Chains A and B, each alone.
Chain A
Amino acid sequence: QKEVEQNSGPLSVPEGAIASLNCTYSDRGSQSFFWYRQYSGKSPELIMSIYSNGDKEDGRFTAQLNKASQYVSLLIRDSQPSDSATYLCAWGGYSSASKIIFGSGTRLSIRP
């Protein structure tokens, strides 16, 4: 069974600090990795995608991928109250029949 594991949280971080979210996956054939953000009562929206080992930065967000260790993480710098949401890790294979597998999400709360 292909799986994505995340700490369900809640993770509480003070405003202005760095929030670190982690995710491990079971399938070494995974090629594509994503972080989605979901506000309460809303639909998931893509924050970051990463395909190669290493870091990828976009504004306050940095995704880190380590395929050898089978983990992907998301760092949020200068955390803001608006970052309070559930963050879903997801991964996909490398064929047209592949599907994206989502983790159960980590609930992040930024405290003022």
Chain B
Amino acid sequence: DTAVSQTPKYLVTQMGNDKSIKCEQNLGHDTMYWYKQDSKKFLKIMFSYNNKELIINETVPNRFSPKSPDKAHLNLHINSLELGDSAVYFCASSQGGYSGNTIYFGEGSWLTVV
């Protein structure tokens, strides 16, 4: 019974395309996140939603647009993909927006832009 699930797990696409990654959590958490991990393993937060409200929006190109239809789902849409977007994208969730709470990660979506 996967707690945080995201799809697709692997995605290979060409430059300029638009793609989406979907995420769902069944932990009953009210905060969800998107993190990006580059080839050097650096894990950086992109967005955070608390009860469908955007609370953290890091310096991310506006080609990236998150959407949270409800507190159990957080999707990420990426327009006009570039080579530098190749990375692993992790969805995550926690109970509450307080940063002292444990973050639970999904399995990751490996995005390769060619």
Given the complex, which residues of A lie within 8 Å of B90, measured CB to CB? 43-44
By the criterion of a CB under 8 Å from any partner CB, how many residues of chain B are at the interface?
25
Binary interface profile of B, 8-52, with partner A (CB < 8 Å = 1, else 0)? 000000000000000000000000000100001111110010100
Interface range on chain A: under 10, 10 to 19, 20 to 34, or 35 or more?
20 to 34
B interface secondary structure, majority: loop
A interface secondary structure, majority: loop
Binary interface profile of B, 59-83, with partner A (CB < 8 Å = 1, else 0)? 0000000000000000000000000
| Chain B interfacial positions (CB closer than 8 Å to A) | 35, 40-45, 48, 50, 55-56, 58, 90, 96-100, 102-108
| Chain A interfacial positions (CB closer than 8 Å to B) | 31-32, 34, 38, 42-46, 49, 51, 86, 88, 92-102, 104-105
